[in-house]
Amino acid sequence: MHEAHKRSLQALARRRRLRALAPRAGLDFSSNDYLALANSEALRHAAREALDRGVPPGSGGSRLLRGNDPEHEALEAEAATYFGSETALFFGGGFAANTALFGTLPQRGDLIVHDALIHASVHDGMAISRAEHCAFAHNDANAAEDAITAWRRSGGTGRAWIAVESLYSMDGDTAPLDDLADIAERHDAMLVIDEAHATGVLGPGGRGLGASLEGHDNVVALHTCGKALGVSGALITLPTVLRDYMVNRARPFIYATAPSPLVAAIVRSSLALVNEAPQRRERLAALVSHFGAELHRQCGLASTGTHIVPIIVQRDERALRIANALQNDGFDVRAIRPPTVPEGTARLRISLTLNVTADDVTRLIARLAPLLEETLSGETEP
């Protein structure tokens, strides 16, 4: 029994790609807790205050049965105001939200054109969608437009949907949103922006890199609540008619137990904190700047200018060796390997958070520099 599963795991182990859970250890250079809110006293206080006023930890059912709580509705209303959208819909997580979005809103006869590096959750949504889909070269707006044009010439009559991340989680670079918005206008297309790694950190008031586009009738955005906001869940911001359609048609929404009302209450507090206290974003921006300067000074490498910095070392074994050495010295840096990233682009994914200091950054890079020199100078694999 389970021999096929066992063989698959053994094959992963032989390729050094077997995943396993491990406890947290070392300085945080790997999480998405960019503003250090996840373990903050501010959100602990928000949780206690919500419990004291009777907010329940559990919802008891789906939103369409008895699980719809005033905290869900209050969060959605406040999120729509904060992000500048017509309305919002709350999900238990970003993966479920993306799967629901792409599996529900694009219709039969439509086309989803997506960035080649789009998140796995979008791929799962497209897998259950009735729409066609195709990839375009990473951050190449012209390629996105060419794909739509070719589809029209071949007889496509539905609506095109352009799917991108505003800040890419493994590369730390940003999408050409203004160009893509122009393309969407020219082709009567929808633009879907996954703001997961930008929400709370980038854009005016931490509202994301697509903040100026929110509220447009042809724009849908996803904002996760478990990264910079420090809690969990996700908000889709969108026109009211599309929200109503998802409430009626999105199976991951209809048939799932509603997210915890207590979580919704804490997210409300987190949004208010991010909106009213820019100091955390300013401190993170200073840390990003310091990291870039030190990376150039000590390693001769350019940074991304964002809080996500990949150090690409190409080969899986090199990424693992460097990550293990850093972890042994108390720096929690992880190796990212295919299939999460393309073949030949194994990397260290360094994320910058307010859980570390500028001195921690300097010490990390001082340890990283000789490790990179050893591996990138042509060290042979064992």
- Annotation says 270 is catalytic: no
From the list 165, 195, 316, 332, the catalytic residue is 165
Find the catalytic residue in 72, 114, 119, 133.
119
Report the amino acid identity of residue 44. R
Q: Confirm whether 197 is a catalytic residue.
A: yes
From the candidates 32, 139, 260, 351, give the one annotated as an active-site residue.
32
Which residue of the set 133, 187, 227, 307 is catalytic? 227
How many residues are there in the chain? Answer: 382
Active site residue 316: no
SS3 (DSSP) at 151: helix
State the catalytic residue, choosing from 194, 195, 214, 294: 194
- C-alpha torsion sign, points 35, 38, 39, 44: positive
Catalytic option among 133, 187, 197, 223: 197
Catalytic residue, from 169, 232, 269, 270: name it: 169
Q: Residues of 84-93 as b/e, b for ≥16 C-beta within 10 angstroms? A: bbbbbbbbbb
User: Does the annotation count 6 as an active-site position?
Assistant: no
Q: Is 338 helix (H, G, I), strand (E, B) or coil?
A: coil
- Amino acid code (one letter) for 380: T
Quickly tell me which residue has 């609506």 as its tokens.
159
SS3 string, 132-197, reads EEEEECCCCHHHHHHHHHHHHHCCCCCCEEEEEECECCCCCCECCHHHHHHHHHHCCCEEEEECCC
Known active-site residue 194: yes
Angle (CA) 89 93 96, round 5°: 80
Q: Say whether 119 is catalytic.
A: yes
In 3D space, the residue among 285, 258, 311 whose CA is nearest the CA of residue 62 turns out to be 258
Whether 32 is a known active-site residue: answer yes
Residues that are catalytic: 32, 119, 165, 169, 194, 197, 227
